[in-house]
Amino acid sequence: MLGAGNIALEIAKRSLGAHMLLMDVVSHNIANVNTPGYTRQRGVVETTYPFGVPGMGYMGIPGQIGTGVEVKYIQRLRNDFLDRQFRQENGVLGSEEAKEGVYDVIETMLQEPSDIGLGSVMSAYFDAWQELSVTPEDPAIRNMVIERTKNLIDTFHHYANQLIDLRSEIDFQIGETVKKINTLAHQIADLNGKIEQALAANQRPNDLLDKRDYLVDQLSKLVNVRVEKLDNGGISLFVGSMNIIDDRRVNPIEVFKNTEINASDVSDLSNATTKFVSAYGNKGWNGDKIRFNGSPDGDGGTFSGVDPYNTSVNTLWVKFFSDSPDESVKYVALDNKSLRSGKLFGLIEARDDVIWNALEKLDKLVWGLVSRANEVHRQGADLHGNAGEDIFLVPDSIYTSSRPQDLVATLYAGDDSSGLWKSSNFRGIAAHVYLNPDIDGHPERLAAARQDPTAGVGSDGYYNLSGDSTVAVAMAQLRDINMGQTSITVNNYTINLASPANFTSDMTLKSTREYFDSWVSGIGSDSENNKTIKKNVENLTKMLDLKRKQESGVNLDEEAADLIRFQKAYNASARLVSVMEQVMDTIINLGRA
């Protein structure tokens, strides 16, 4: 029999090599037991091609002879379907987490229910008027009313400024998130290149694939992404219809302050406003939040109006390379059909929905409270018998009138066709209302008494009705009277108020107190809702991730068992070599004995 010993030696050698490789894979697994995103690998072994092909020159051995073993390839044990599911939920988790942070800040700011929040400051203000109604002529109590009024105004400012600051903070976070998205996109595109190279060289770039999957996982928390596999092993990523990674090329997302973008660089300018609206989610946004250097209809004018909040409104655009189908377009707005989940979406919703609504409600509350208070106060008489002045004013550099009761609610009444900042609306009033300086320091100018032309002024200059408390009672009753009510009657004295046409429908049927209460509990239930969803999604994401890890994670026991198995096989193969050596020895020394 010919050459049998040679084959056996060769088989033993192959086995040694294969098992060494298998043990290498095991070591790699063990080494990466804690590496995030690592997928366990397994060497797939096969028998090598058998020796002896049937044919004319066939040497007459009793069959094909096995030629040993080889590691065909190293397999990555991962389930794509779980990946997709995980990424989808991860996006929702990202957006809900972003909103949760904002709700937490707002709820902390509200400090309700408690004895120190805006609710009790408002109570203290109305109580001061009550107290004045008992002793209207007392200068000490008049001073107290003024101090409580100042405190009320300060609290309004504090709340509004906190919300506005929170909004700028979110602006910053949006910028940071976009930066992170772009960084991840670049890394992924980079990996695409390396993976494609490896595949072209017929290698299995398992670890690179792991890295890429892990980066996509991270990206999926920031923005909703859809993965499309390419034939060359690369992937393309889409945010809705926007192609942010096209194989090795990245179309980065960019954020601009609305003053920074050049109208001519933007696609479809005639729709810019609506595009912008949709870019920010549909609720709470009107077109006034974007102002190009050119107007949408292309007449080159700039939008007028002063935004008392913040002119640095960001918008999100996907930048396209100049080889995009439309040569002239550099930027396309990321619209709300594309943006559906992820931290970015959550931040935008928090900014333009959550915070915006909170500000809007606060403004409405302040507007309703101060304009009604002014109207009532003007119909009273002060200690000298003069008609009361407005207590609350707003800067007329911002608004059309310095009198809050004269402001008109065009914007919130649903006028978003023009979509411009209305300098005549009441927005920002919570941050800008101030105490009439004529009244500040002049407690005698508070009008607690009714106006009565027949009552004169005494020789000492004091009104003959200085003990009357009718208007003070009316001021205090404003707390519980619907903001839309057109008159207040205290005893037989009727104070007429302007028609509530200026007020929006959610204000007219509520008193300031009710409006505040429903504002607080509304934020509470939105926040609760957010927390519930977040908790569910968090659970779901965790479960999906664990399910993935169940399949892809390294189990040390398993690896140890494999290690023992492979070691035994390796030992056996080594033994085979030494046996073959003896066999050879026998042959070589045949003639000697």
Q: Which of 16, 174, 476, 580 binds other proteins (CB under 8 A)?
A: 476
Per CB under 8 A, 512 contacts other proteins: no
Query: Nearest distance from residue 187's CB to other proteins, in Å?
Result: 23
- Rounded Cα–Cα distance for residues 341 and 88 (Å): 8
Give the footprint of other proteins on residues 413-472 (CB under 8 A). Answer: 449-450, 452, 454-455, 458, 460, 462, 464-470
Residue with token string 């390379």: 321
CA distances (Å), origin 301, targets 68, 292, 293, 399, 415: 82, 9, 7, 22, 21
Question: Please, what is the angle between helix 356-378 and helix 512-552, to 10°?
Answer: 170
Give the footprint of other proteins on residues 204-243 (CB under 8 A). Answer: none
Closest CA to 87 of 217, 212, 240: 217
Per CB under 8 A, 40 contacts other proteins: yes
Per CB under 8 A, 387 contacts other proteins: no
What type of residue is 544? L
Query: Nearest distance from residue 527's CB to other proteins, in Å?
Result: 4
Give the footprint of other proteins on residues 119-178 (CB under 8 A). Answer: 119-120, 123, 127, 130-131, 133-135, 137-138
Query: Nearest distance from residue 291's CB to other proteins, in Å?
Result: 35
CA distances (Å), origin 429, targets 148, 426, 438: 19, 6, 20
Whether omega for the bond prior to residue 404 falls within 30 degrees of 0, making it cis, is: no
Q: Which of 200, 230, 556, 572 binds other proteins (CB under 8 A)?
A: 556
Per CB under 8 A, 525 contacts other proteins: yes
Per CB under 8 A, 585 contacts other proteins: no
Give the footprint of other proteins on residues 526-545 (CB under 8 A). Answer: 526-528, 530-531, 542, 545
Q: Which of 310, 410, 518, 536 binds other proteins (CB under 8 A)?
A: 518
3-state secondary structure 218-247: HHHHHCCCEEEECCCCCEEEEECCEEEEEC
Nearer to other proteins by Cβ, of 452 and 506: the residue is: 452
b/e sequence 509-546, b meaning 16+ C-beta within 10 Å = ebbbbebbeebbeebbebbeebeebbeebbebbeebee
Nearer to other proteins by Cβ, of 37 and 175: the residue is: 37
Binding mask 87-126 for other proteins (x = CB under 8 A): ----------------x---xx-x-xx-----xx--x---
Per CB under 8 A, 564 contacts other proteins: yes
What type of residue is 346? G
| Number of residues engaging other proteins in binding (CB under 8 A) | 75
Question: Please, what is the angle between helix 80-110 and helix 139-200, to 10°?
Answer: 170
Per CB under 8 A, 70 contacts other proteins: no
Per CB under 8 A, 39 contacts other proteins: no
Q: Which of 231, 299, 323, 557 binds other proteins (CB under 8 A)?
A: 557
Query: Nearest distance from residue 587's CB to other proteins, in Å?
Result: 38
Query: Nearest distance from residue 522's CB to other proteins, in Å?
Result: 8
3-state secondary structure 21-51: HHHHHHHHHHHCCCCCCCCCEEEEEEECCCE
- Rounded Cα–Cα distance for residues 582 and 5 (Å): 10
Per CB under 8 A, 515 contacts other proteins: no
Question: What's the gap between Cα 2 and its chain centre?
Answer: 76
Per CB under 8 A, 265 contacts other proteins: no
Strands 249-250 and 242-246: antiparallel
